[in-house]
């Protein structure tokens, strides 16, 4: 387990032709989805693409519902996550049974095959190994019929070690009205519960509050919890009302998880307090140092508890210091950027980046044989670098490093980040934009260096309009760029921009330039030259890409995958793109025969597009798993992966080097800004 556990959501709202239109269904589904995916409340990941986290429609079929539930379960399993599911709409039970059937467009009460039986699906989802638990909201008539028979869970593949909580809008013989449960729940989650702790659960406290707000139908719940090793409590949402007065609670989910585990292994009867305040940590620290050891289960865990408490106390102290030093510049984006620079996975930031990243640095970013505070020293150095902290602030943090005997680690990290910034700032951009159908007759090059107002530019003529001619022109561009760099600066980074038809057939890093492949001595990033075109819509697509990139920073693996069925309906895909449903990276999980056309379709909308090489073997979902595992290394990780692929790859299964990518980060979008058709200043009026 690393970082903060992920959470997934799926909200489905379906109209049924035979039962009449529910006028508030769409609104209810959208508001519930917004609350569940709000980082400050529900904390679930929002998804777009073919299986979005919000599915509302008037023409849904049973297969649409079942496939969406299965895909959400698969993603929750991949992340070892809690899955929150909501079914909104119509439901019915048969005359002799109480099993609930969820109704879609063509469902009728005299055909169970036309609807979706809910109970067995919920049981199967909770019983799926790897899923950390399922919370289900069922806002339909006769909703209690959705609660599965406990025997389905007790006798499942997990031998009963599953968790399932179900919140229902009506008894098995009652009607539900006007989406009352959903709207009341949204209100409760937005306002918080005064009687609850840090989080809202599907428990008597929530039910009591909902019943106060809803009349005419019986709000109920069912809770099955038989997993002895959950990642965390199966909470529905963070409790905002409690959180408003919780400034004294200084420990986040990771810290609480680490401390709970250590305490339980040390003293089985010792329980953590609900509020982990500074005084509570001080009290526990004193108890560890002075308490009797007669009931210890394993004495080694005493030292583990001591270390975790000391780390959490130090995190709280550093958070106060940083709050003073960075008061004018601290933002969530700044903190996340510093976390990435320090090498932390994106999910480490969570909903409270400062606290969570400090805890990750102190508890997870530690190397065996290194000083115990080196993770924190590296993160503090990343913050200094990212925020361009003044000398006074840097000196104060260096004093902290001296006190904890990690000043060398702190200074080493600062030097590493400064050198990396300088290296990455020196880039050669090579554009093959003039190749409308085949290979270009000319290649344009720009040399970017930190501290220069405008990049140097040069055009190189290709000896022939083919791959060989383009490769030789790129070689000439490299010679030109090196001649303009003063010693000891080296050219390490090369961006190659090309149109879609070349991206679909060409691996620029494998192009021989001089004695070596281009990627042997250079980190090569592939870009789409279309964002450099002097087109009317380039400012629009680049601004959308900027917004999407910033939103992607909040997601652990921000990739929407498309499979052959999605590409087979190109009209629907294009409508989805125009509607903004694909607002992250887009991954093609197979090699399409019409790859050029696919890239032409996707590249104006997606800042990042991934696909496998034609000779790769991405079977059984391995491509998706590989991207999920290695996402935090990208795009820099491609350089070593491509080099490794050149050696003895014949018998190698799918690896990162088999994945092609067109990657547009904010640095590239900034480079493209001069090509955008923007009005820099208002024209002067005639006098």
Predicted confidence (pLDDT) per residue in 596-610, tens digit = 999 999 999 999 999
The pair of structure tokens assigned to 609 is 């597009």
> Which has the closest alpha carbon to 152: 131, 121, 129, 130?
121
Nearest-angstrom CA–CA distance, 176 and 474: 68
| pLDDT for res 78 | 87
DSSP letters, 398-412, are HHHHHHTT-HHHHHH
Nearest-angstrom CA–CA distance, 209 and 211: 6
Tell how far CA 596 is from the center of its chain: 28
**pLDDT confidence of 230, banded at 50, 70, 90?**
low
Where along the chain do its domains lie?
Answer: 7-243, 253-423, 426-532, 533-677
Sole residue written with tokens 């609104």: 27
**pLDDT confidence of 292, banded at 50, 70, 90?**
low
The pair of structure tokens assigned to 352 is 């409270």
Helix (H) or strand (E) holding 610: strand 608-612
Q: Residue 129 pLDDT > 70, yes or no?
A: yes
In this chain, the answer to whether the domains covering 7-243 and 426-532 adopt an identical fold is: no
Q: What are the beta bridge partners of residue 527?
A: 497
**pLDDT confidence of 619, banded at 50, 70, 90?**
low
Are 654 and 623 within 8 A, CB to CB? yes
> Which has the closest alpha carbon to 421: 449, 393, 394, 400?
449
The pair of structure tokens assigned to 501 is 């038809």
> Which has the closest alpha carbon to 31: 202, 199, 187, 201?
187
Nearest-angstrom CA–CA distance, 57 and 15: 7
Measured N-to-C along each axis, helices 595-602 and 570-578 cross at an angle, to the nearest 10 degrees, of 20
The pair of structure tokens assigned to 479 is 């010679």
| pLDDT for res 680 | 43
**pLDDT confidence of 403, banded at 50, 70, 90?**
very high
Domain 7-243 in CATH 3.90.78.10? The answer is no
Q: Residue 262 pLDDT > 50, yes or no?
A: yes
> Which has the closest alpha carbon to 605: 624, 586, 631?
586
| pLDDT for res 554 | 66
What is the pLDDT averaged over residues 137-161?
Answer: 89
Structure letter (DSSP) for residue 165: E
Q: Other C-beta atoms within 10 Å of 608: how many?
A: 23
Share of the chain above pLDDT 90, in %: 60
Taking CA atoms, 542 is separated from 77, 291, 499, 533, 663, in Å, by 34, 61, 16, 12, 13
Q: Residue 1 pLDDT > 60, yes or no?
A: no
Nearest-angstrom CA–CA distance, 549 and 554: 9
Select the highest-mean-pLDDT range: 40-54, 99-113, 192-206, 529-543. 99-113
Nearest-angstrom CA–CA distance, 349 and 147: 35
| pLDDT for res 683 | 40
Are 678 and 537 within 8 A, CB to CB? no
Structure letter (DSSP) for residue 297: S
Entry pTM: 0.56
| pLDDT for res 80 | 81
Select the highest-mean-pLDDT range: 198-202, 343-347, 369-373. 198-202
CB environment 391-418: b (16+ within 10 A), e (fewer) = eebbeebbebbeebebeebbeebbeebe
Are 275 and 249 within 8 A, CB to CB? yes
Quote helix, strand, coil % in the chain, to nearest 5. 45, 15, 40
The CATH superfamily label for domain 426-532 reads ATPase, nucleotide binding domain (3.30.420.40)
Are 524 and 513 within 8 A, CB to CB? no
Predicted confidence (pLDDT) per residue in 179-218, tens digit = 999 999 999 999 998 888 778 999 999 999 999 999 889 9
Sole residue written with tokens 């102290």: 317
Q: In 3-state terms, what secondary structure has residue 88?
A: strand
**pLDDT confidence of 232, banded at 50, 70, 90?**
low
Between strands 427-431 and 442-448, the pairing is antiparallel
Are 529 and 499 within 8 A, CB to CB? yes
Among the ranges given (146-155, 273-282, 479-488), the one the predictor scored with the smallest mean pLDDT? 273-282
> Which has the closest alpha carbon to 167: 75, 234, 69?
234
Nearest-angstrom CA–CA distance, 6 and 482: 46
Sheet of 82-89, strands arranged across: 54-57, 7-14, 82-89, 133-139, 163-168, 220-225
Helix (H) or strand (E) holding 32: helix 25-36
- For 450-456, the CB contacts below 8 A with 24+ separation are 450/421, 450/422, 450/425, 450/426, 455/429, 456/484
Cα 520–Cα 526–Cα 531 angle in degrees, nearest 5: 155
| pLDDT for res 198 | 74
Q: Residue 639 pLDDT > 60, yes or no?
A: yes
Q: Average pLDDT over the chain, rounded to whole?
A: 88
Q: 388: left (phi > 0), else alpha (psi -120 to 50), else beta?
A: left
For residue 585, report the phi and psi dihedrals to the nearest 5 degrees. -70, 150
Sheet of 585-588, strands arranged across: 559-562, 585-588, 608-612, 659-663
Are 100 and 251 within 8 A, CB to CB? no
Taking CA atoms, 27 is separated from 280, 365, 391, 676, in Å, by 43, 43, 52, 38
The pair of structure tokens assigned to 57 is 């429609």
Q: How many CA atoms lie within 13 A of 304 on its CB side?
A: 17
- Within 8 A by CB and 6+ apart from 23, the residues are none
Nearest-angstrom CA–CA distance, 399 and 620: 52
Nearest-angstrom CA–CA distance, 293 and 302: 9
DSSP letters, 317-386, are HHHHHHHHHTTTT--HHHHHHHHHHHT--GGGS-SSHHHHHHHHHHHTS--TTS-TTHHHHHHHHHHHHH
Taking CA atoms, 483 is separated from 79, 245, 497, in Å, by 49, 62, 22
As to burial, measured by CB atoms within 10 angstroms (0-12 exposed, 13-18 middle, 19+ buried), residue 278 is: middle
Q: How many CA atoms lie within 13 A of 9 on its CB side?
A: 28
> Which has the closest alpha carbon to 42: 81, 87, 77?
81
The residue with greater pLDDT, 295 or 257, is 257
């Amino acid at each position: 387990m690393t970082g903060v556990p992920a959470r997934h959501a799926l909200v489905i709202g379906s109209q049924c032709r035979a039962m009449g239109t529910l006028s508030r269904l769409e609104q209810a589904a959208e508001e519930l989805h917004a609350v569940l995916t709000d980082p400050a409340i529900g904390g679930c990941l929002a998804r777009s693409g073919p299986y979005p986290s919000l599915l509302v429609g008037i023409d849904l079929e049973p297969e649409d519902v079942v496939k969406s539930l299965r895909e959400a379960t698969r993603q929750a399993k991949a992340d070892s996550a809690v899955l929150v599911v909501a079914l909104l709409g119509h439901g019915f039970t048969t005359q002799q049974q109480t099993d609930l059937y969820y109704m879609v467009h063509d469902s009728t009460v005299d055909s169970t095959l036309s609807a979706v039986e809910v109970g067995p699906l919920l049981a199967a989802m909770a019983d799926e190994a790897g899923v950390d638990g399922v919370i289900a909201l069922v806002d339909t008539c006769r909703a209690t019929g959705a609660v599965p028979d406990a025997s389905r869970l007790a006798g499942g593949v997990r031998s009963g070690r599953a968790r399932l909580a179900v919140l229902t809008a009506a008894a098995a013989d009652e009607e539900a009205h006007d989406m009352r449960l959903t709207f009341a729940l949204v209100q409760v989650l937005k306002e918080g519960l005064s009687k609850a702790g840090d989080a809202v659960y599907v428990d008597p406290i929530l039910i009591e509050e909902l019943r106060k707000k809803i009349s005419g139908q019986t709000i109920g719940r069912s809770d099955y919890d038989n997993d002895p090793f959950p990642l965390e409590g199966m909470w529905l949402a963070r409790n905002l009302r409690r959180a408003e007065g919780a400034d004294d609670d200084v420990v986040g989910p990771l810290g609480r998880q680490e401390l709970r585990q250590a305490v339980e292994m040390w003293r089985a009867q010792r329980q953590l307090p609900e509020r982990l305040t500074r005084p509570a940590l001080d009290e526990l620290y004193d108890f560890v140092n002075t308490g009797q050891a007669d009931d210890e289960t394993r004495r080694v865990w005493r030292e583990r508890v001591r270390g975790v408490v000391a780390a959490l106390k130090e995190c709280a102290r550093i958070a106060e210091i940083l709050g003073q030093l960075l008061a004018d510049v601290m933002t969530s984006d700044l903190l996340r950027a510093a976390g990435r620079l320090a090498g932390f996975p994106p999910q480490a930031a969570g909903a409270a980046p400062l606290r969570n990243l400090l805890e990750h640095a102190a508890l997870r970013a530690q190397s065996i044989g290194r000083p115990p505070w080196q993770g924190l020293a590296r993160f503090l150095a990343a913050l200094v670098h990212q925020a361009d902290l003044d000398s006074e602030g840097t000196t104060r943090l260096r004093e902290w490093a001296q006190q904890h005997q990690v000043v060398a680690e702190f200074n080493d990290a600062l030097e590493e980040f400064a050198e990396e910034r300088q290296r990455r700032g020196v880039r050669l951009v090579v554009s093959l934009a003039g190749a409308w159908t085949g290979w270009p007759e000319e290649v344009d090059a720009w040399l970017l260096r930190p501290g220069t107002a405008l990049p140097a530019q040069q055009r190189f003529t290709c000896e022939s309009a083919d791959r060989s001619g383009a490769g030789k022109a790129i070689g000439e561009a490299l010679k030109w760029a090196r001649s303009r760099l003063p010693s000891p600066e080296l050219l390490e980074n090369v961006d190659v921009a090309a149109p879609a038809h070349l991206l679909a057939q060409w691996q620029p890093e494998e192009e021989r330039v001089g004695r070596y492949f281009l990627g042997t001595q250079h980190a090569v990033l592939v870009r789409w030259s279309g964002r450099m075109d002097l087109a009317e819509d380039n400012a629009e697509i680049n601004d959308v890409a900027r917004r999407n990139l910033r939103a992607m920073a909040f997601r652990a693996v921000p990739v929407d995958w498309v499979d052959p069925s999605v590409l087979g309906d190109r009209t629907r895909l294009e409508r989805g793109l125009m509607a903004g449903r694909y607002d992250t990276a887009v991954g093609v999980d197979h090699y399409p025969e019409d790859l050029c056309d696919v890239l032409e379709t996707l590249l104006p909308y997606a800042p990042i597009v991934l696909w496998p090489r034609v000779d790769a073997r991405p079977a059984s979902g391995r491509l998706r798993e590989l991207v999920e595992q290695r996402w935090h290394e990208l795009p820099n990780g491609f350089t070593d992966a491509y080099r490794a692929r050149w050696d003895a790859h014949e018998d190698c299964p799918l690896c990162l080097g088999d994945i092609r990518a067109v990657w547009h980060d904010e640095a590239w979008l900034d480079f493209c800004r001069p090509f955008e058709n923007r009005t820099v200043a208002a024209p002067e009026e005639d006098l």
